[in-house]
Amino acid sequence: MKSYHNQEKGIGILFDDIYVVNGARTPFGKFCGTLAQVSPTDLGIFSSRAALLKAGVSPTDIDQAIMANIGQSSGDAYFLPRHIALYAGLPTTVPSLMVQRICASGFETIITASEQITLGKAGMVLCCGTENMSLAPTVSFGNRMGYALGRPVFKDMLWEALDDTAAGYPMGFTAENVAKKHNLTRAQCDEFALTSFTRAVNARNNNIFKDEITPINSTVFEADGLKPRKVKLPGGVKDFVMDEQIRETTIESLGKLATVFSDVGVLTAGNCSGIVDGSAAAIIADKSTIDSKNLKPIAKIIGGATCGIDPKHMGLGPVPAIKLLLEMTGLSIADIGLFEINEAFSAQVIGCEIELGLDREKLNVNGGAIAIGHPLAASGLRLSLTMIREMNLRKIKYGIASACIGGGQGTAILFENINL
């Protein structure tokens, strides 16, 4: 292990023999769609159980559970990490932890799990990121103390999550700032969005996502000594397996949409990330544990880096994070065969593409969050799993997955294909 910290460049860590055994995710349901009434805890149970099954790992072999959830959108939100772990079948003696780095929280579960293993506090860890944005509540802060006659104040917590009060405006405006910095046009942003949708449609039609998605059905989760949890999908839906945000579109259709952040801006509902509900999970382990249990991991975790940047250009966070990760490993952009950069906003990803000098043929090759959606805490795990599977399909040695983070940060993780 080699760790790094520098106030100007950021923080990072390189790992010795830490691996992604396997993982799985739920399909991502569109805003107020099929998964709208399924709590983030239940979504996490679905993906965690599937990840354990996919990895060929018994729940009793897990030493820790590291979970992520951003928007607390269910009554048991405080207990979410513990409830997911217990209903996934982990022993009651195994502790659970919640981590939060907003849009990079899924990545943070992987990094934290790898650090815990490196410290000798675990041999194998269950990681899970889960989000139900449809269930984001409307709240009245301070209501317990009362309010002036006829003047109750309510806040939409989903909107509040998208509004960076430090920057002084919603995060969409920070992406418009990136567009201005690089003189990006509406046409460029729509073209990028069309590429995302087209690649995602092709990936879906070619069953690229089939191996990572677990079917969702109405069910009852049970665990010894615990109250059963009932999950019911609407309208008798069975075997829900398709991402609802993915759809075919045209450049003409995208061009008809109104801008959403500025009258003279470039961003629309069609070229920004979709608001969706979903969860993703992965099993992380060290080499000795993998060898002792005769497991077949899908990738090695080389290291991760996180950096802070100006909140007004928060979408460029992946740039310093990826640069630091490459500096730490001695690799170059040319050495990396695939990149996944979370598509929070089209302009933001294009800005990263320009500043890093990326080849778009290596970037988000199966589409990204514009087409698939961005369930905040789940995205880092989804990006990692999708890219790792593509690395194995294409026989590519290195891949980097990254995301910008609201408030002005960026995180990146470098994975190595060990199955060449």
Crossing angle of helices 346-356 and 186-205, in 10° steps, is 100
Each residue's pLDDT tens digit, 293-307: 999 999 999 999 999
H or E stretch at 338: strand 338-341
Q: What predicted TM-score, i.e. pTM, was given to this entire model?
A: 0.97
Q: What is the pLDDT of residue 167?
A: 81
H or E stretch at 156: strand 155-156
Alpha carbon distances (Å) from 364 to 163, 199, 397: 26, 8, 16
Q: What is the pLDDT of residue 263?
A: 84
SS3 248: coil
Return the bridge partners of 283, or none: 22, 126
Domains and CATH numbers, the chain: 17-137+274-292 (3.40.47.10)
| Inter-residue contact 212 to 282 (CB < 8 Å) | no
> For the chain, which ranges sit under pLDDT 70?
none
Structural tokens at position 72: 């607390």
The identity of residue 18, as a single letter, is I
User: Chain-wide mean pLDDT for the chain?
Assistant: 96
Q: What is the pLDDT of residue 281?
A: 98
Q: What is the pLDDT of residue 166?
A: 83
Q: What is the pLDDT of residue 170?
A: 85
Q: Hey, which bits of 69-214 come out as E strands?
A: 96-99, 124-132, 138-139, 155-156, 163-164, 169-170
Q: What is the pLDDT of residue 168?
A: 85
Q: What is the pLDDT of residue 359?
A: 98
Query: In which residue are the tokens 């993780």 written?
Result: 413
Question: What CA–CA distance (Å, rounded) separates 185 from 175?
Answer: 12
Q: What is the pLDDT of residue 1?
A: 83
Structural tokens at position 178: 């990136």
Q: What is the pLDDT of residue 169?
A: 83
The percent of residues above 90 in pLDDT, for the chain, comes to 92
Enumerate the active-site residues: 103, 404
Q: What is the pLDDT of residue 262?
A: 83
DSSP for residue 108: H
